[in-house]
A and B are shown apart, each in its own frame.
Chain A
């Protein structure tokens, strides 16, 4: 179970070319399961969302969920796929305790959607990822292995199974092999999953939360020597459960395979497990002793033959897809490719859009999300969208700055207060006393005190060294605890000292 030796990435890429393949499973957010009426709520007590059908009681039968079929077709259309005129479910037979029927209802040689593509942007280049198929199947239950060191079945004292997840609709999206990514293979893999996730979100078909397993990714990697045209043996790394892990899994698998090949070894076609802690993969079951799934058409269900008119309606009703939307917003906001890419990478586009939608100028909204809030996100390892602050609150802060009630420094304090749970921006301004000093009398008094305390500097200014005024303004800001309007203070200082700029 050791990770084995690795070859440094740059050296690996000097000697080998990678070919990628990605299989992504998306749990659909339908109200009921794929083949029965049970609820799909995440996190319910174990084995409370079950019935004779999803527990595979004798005699129980499946009935296909029409909403899941519709969602799958919409996914296929968004990924530029052809939609089957007629297709069937198939049984994939294998024994495993978390699969109640000991077969999974899936699709085999007749997927609902096929031959599509998804374009992703990597370092300013568009990479077209070809989609082999999009099909519909059911999820399994969830096994927990208790005791033992690894949390895996081997070495466990006993195992428990929660069948709440059994039968939740699952869409599998399989790419064709992706050659030609070269050094960018890890980035391409990550960009693809990121883009796919956004497409799902824009379609509203899944909450695509990788940490909850509603989007799961298997990464296939093979290497061939530079100049070769014959692809190498691939491995399949399972359950890569974050975007960062997708990138890391590809990178480490390239490094591992390169080391094996360079030492004259052979890559075994196998399933590998990704480890979040080490960033490496270890061997799982070997595909060479792989099961024969004995697929055959599911006789308990009737074929699916989507009406062409209905498919056309679904196509016409697709929302603006993320890549198209990004281009539109970039134009509207007048941003460079690089700025837009940075926002995309930070997952900030939707947040900025939402902030603009509630009245903030795009430049301001972007400034806060990509500046102060991105910093906070990095520091706390919290995704931007999960920070305890809303687009409405950001919009209010930009409004207060625009009206002159806050300056940027105070605004940052307001944001901090909001995220600390102290209330709305207005409540934080009130409770922390953060309003800019607009009272001319109060400001004038502060300036008089600062001029008296800094007689030397005041004299320099009076004698024409206007540059020295900066120190006095700084003094006013300190004395007012940052609440003075610096520009107005400077104006008044110069007035009082009888000089003009």
Chain B
């Protein structure tokens, strides 16, 4: 089997055993990228030299006897929203075109410490605002299952890169579903850790109280290995959790759900859900039951108010977070011809540098925080957030995990929802509640929808710091389905 088809765990073992070098593995993936990138367009920045250099350094560290983690030498695609010293960082926005950060994000630094080799920076919706990656200021990324469809978003470059075998692993960030939804529509595993479980330092902020870095992989164990590699307390992020990382790798290796109580969220089914999605989802629930889990229906009525609450909280925070892009210290500067005031240059730069969705959210948030409207909008949304958290807590009194479809539909065609923000926002209907409550949630592939033959994801939600439960249940579903299918779901994807 060629190197690019191997799992990250297998590659790590081969490299550690000296059977293959990190450079060889990197080259195999760079070659794959050269072959399929023109069709997929997952990467915003690739620099063969820098990548090979990193791989060479890892080989040297290993030869010198340095003990690195299980992913040493394994290549990774890195979402272009994490700062990197040696590569540009743009958040897919014109306002940061060509910006080279003077520092590494904590996630970037931990990838390097663990010996992962960064292949390049992946495309995303500008500032992670979107569900299709069409809001990138640079390019549209294509779904490897069907190039006329979106790879999800905002981390669509990262999901597409892994699904297209350009990388065995990638990073994402999940603010309202930006890891789980793209994982679901590209047939891979995506995990949103507990909020604060992974550091936001060096992650270009969209909505500070929601943003969570997490892993993508083609299987549950690989996702767990990556999760463990970059997660954990960071003194540079005040909101990071000062607690041990849940033992996710151990959980991924113990796919046993017998005796677990699994709650089916009553509100996430029915109208608006694609029949093929619901069919695969219900099969997955039955599968869990057949594996010895006890399945109960749980009602979380406030979850239906999560979407409007999210679209007040996230834009409010973003309107403030994105104020720093003002042409003064870095990034784009427009209209500075010596005749204009700083204020005018700021306004011209922001008008030229931000795309329409970013502007829409800045305006929404500015309005929601305005004096006289604050209580009715931002204040009310925060109350909804509290109610949702309480409903989760109550649910976890009865069950160990909650499940739902990850997203109401399979991958939609490029352009279909680009001019319909409300339709676009609905893609995150099932994922948003976990962001508002800060709990852990995973998407794991559970089959192909009958009507379009495209991947469907099962969402597994667990309490705060219960990330290991997602991995245990996810691994059990994966093991059972793969033995049924005779291989991973991606083995059924068309050749590129």
A: which residues have CB within 8 A of B?
52, 55-64, 91, 93, 95, 97, 100-103, 159, 161, 292, 294-296, 299-302
Query: Are A296 and B378 CB-contacts (below 8 A) given A58-B83, A95-B346?
Result: yes
Given contacts A59-B203, A63-B235, 11 further A-B contacts (CB under 8 A): A52-B101, A55-B329, A59-B89, A60-B103, A61-B236, A95-B343, A97-B328, A102-B324, A292-B370, A294-B370, A296-B369
- Determine the distance from Cα of A266 to Cα of B67 in the docked complex, in whole angstroms: 77
A57→B237 contact, CB < 8 A: no
B238→A301 contact, CB < 8 A: yes
Asked if B180 CB lies within 8 Å of chain A CBs, one says no
B328→A299 contact, CB < 8 A: no
B102→A57 contact, CB < 8 A: yes
Q: Which listed segment binds A: B130-138, B315-323, B402-410, B424-432?
A: B315-323
B346→A296 contact, CB < 8 A: no
- Which of B208, B326, B378 is A97 in contact with, Cβ under 8 Å? B326
Minimum Cβ distance to chain B for residue A69 (Å): 12
Minimum Cβ distance to chain A for residue B36 (Å): 30
- Determine the distance from Cα of A55 to Cα of B330 in the docked complex, in whole angstroms: 10
Query: Are A102 and B238 CB-contacts (below 8 A) given A57-B101, A58-B83?
Result: no
Write out the residue numbers on chain A whose beta carbons fall within 8 Å of the beta carbon of B201. 59-61
Asked if B366 CB lies within 8 Å of chain A CBs, one says yes
Write out the residue numbers on chain B whose beta carbons fall within 8 Å of the beta carbon of A296. 316-317, 320, 369, 374, 378
B: which residues have CB within 8 A of A?
82-83, 89, 91, 96, 99, 101-103, 105, 200-205, 207-209, 235-239, 316-317, 319-320, 323-326, 328-330, 342-343, 346, 366, 369-371, 374, 378
- Determine the distance from Cα of A102 to Cα of B325 in the docked complex, in whole angstroms: 9
A-B contact pairs, 26 of them (CB 8 A): A52-B101, A56-B324, A57-B83, A58-B91, A58-B205, A58-B330, A59-B82, A59-B83, A59-B204, A60-B103, A60-B202, A61-B201, A61-B236, A95-B346, A97-B346, A100-B324, A103-B323, A294-B320, A294-B366, A294-B369, A294-B370, A296-B320, A299-B209, A300-B208, A300-B239, A301-B238
Instruction: Determine the main DSSP class of A at the interface with B.
Output: loop
Write out the residue numbers on chain B whose beta carbons fall within 8 Å of the beta carbon of A300. 205, 208, 238-239
Nearest-CB residue, chain A, relative to B105: A59
A61→B237 contact, CB < 8 A: yes
Nearest-CB residue, chain B, relative to A294: B369
Nearest 6 A-B pairs (CB), nearest first? Answer: A102-B323, A294-B369, A299-B208, A299-B209, A59-B202, A56-B324
Minimum Cβ distance to chain A for residue B333 (Å): 12
Nearest-CB residue, chain B, relative to A92: B320
B200→A61 contact, CB < 8 A: yes
B238→A61 contact, CB < 8 A: yes
Nearest-CB residue, chain A, relative to B317: A299
Minimum Cβ distance to chain B for residue A141 (Å): 10
Nearest-CB residue, chain B, relative to A301: B238
Minimum Cβ distance to chain A for residue B388 (Å): 17
- Determine the distance from Cα of A161 to Cα of B326 in the docked complex, in whole angstroms: 14
Nearest-CB residue, chain A, relative to B382: A297
Query: Are A52 and B102 CB-contacts (below 8 A) given A58-B204, A62-B238, A294-B371?
Result: yes
B320→A64 contact, CB < 8 A: no
A302→B370 contact, CB < 8 A: no
- Determine the distance from Cα of A91 to Cα of B319 in the docked complex, in whole angstroms: 11
Write out the residue numbers on chain B whose beta carbons fall within 8 Å of the beta carbon of A55. 329
- Determine the distance from Cα of A256 to Cα of B435 in the docked complex, in whole angstroms: 56
- Determine the distance from Cα of A294 to Cα of B320 in the docked complex, in whole angstroms: 9
- Determine the distance from Cα of A52 to Cα of B83 in the docked complex, in whole angstroms: 11
Minimum Cβ distance to chain A for residue B176 (Å): 15
Residue in A58, A95, A101, A292 with the greatest tally of chain B CB atoms within 10 Å: A58
A57→B330 contact, CB < 8 A: yes
Minimum Cβ distance to chain A for residue B458 (Å): 30
- Which of A63, A64, A159 is B236 in contact with, Cβ under 8 Å? A63
- Determine the distance from Cα of A95 to Cα of B202 in the docked complex, in whole angstroms: 23
Write out the residue numbers on chain A whose beta carbons fall within 8 Å of the beta carbon of B330. 57-58
- Determine the distance from Cα of A292 to Cα of B365 in the docked complex, in whole angstroms: 13
Write out the residue numbers on chain B whose beta carbons fall within 8 Å of the beta carbon of A56. 324, 329
B101→A58 contact, CB < 8 A: yes
- Which of B237, B324, B366 is A58 in contact with, Cβ under 8 Å? B324
Write out the residue numbers on chain A whose beta carbons fall within 8 Å of the beta carbon of B89. 58-59
Nearest-CB residue, chain A, relative to B366: A294
- Determine the distance from Cα of A60 to Cα of B205 in the docked complex, in whole angstroms: 9
- Determine the distance from Cα of A103 to Cα of B343 in the docked complex, in whole angstroms: 15
Residue in B329, B370, B374 with the greatest tally of chain A CB atoms within 10 Å: B329
B238→A59 contact, CB < 8 A: no
B205→A63 contact, CB < 8 A: no
A97→B342 contact, CB < 8 A: yes
Minimum Cβ distance to chain A for residue B315 (Å): 12
- Which of B96, B101, B320 is A93 in contact with, Cβ under 8 Å? B320
A102→B326 contact, CB < 8 A: yes
Write out the residue numbers on chain A whose beta carbons fall within 8 Å of the beta carbon of B82. 59
- Determine the distance from Cα of A259 to Cα of B238 in the docked complex, in whole angstroms: 53
Query: Are A52 and B103 CB-contacts (below 8 A) given A58-B91, A60-B202, A296-B316?
Result: yes
- Determine the distance from Cα of A91 to Cα of B237 in the docked complex, in whole angstroms: 17
Write out the residue numbers on chain A whose beta carbons fall within 8 Å of the beta carbon of B205. 58-59, 300
B324→A101 contact, CB < 8 A: yes
- Which of B105, B204, B238, B323 is A63 in contact with, Cβ under 8 Å? B238
Minimum Cβ distance to chain B for residue A300 (Å): 5
Nearest-CB residue, chain A, relative to B104: A59
Minimum Cβ distance to chain A for residue B173 (Å): 11
- Determine the distance from Cα of A52 to Cα of B200 in the docked complex, in whole angstroms: 14
Minimum Cβ distance to chain A for residue B377 (Å): 11
- Determine the distance from Cα of A56 to Cα of B320 in the docked complex, in whole angstroms: 12
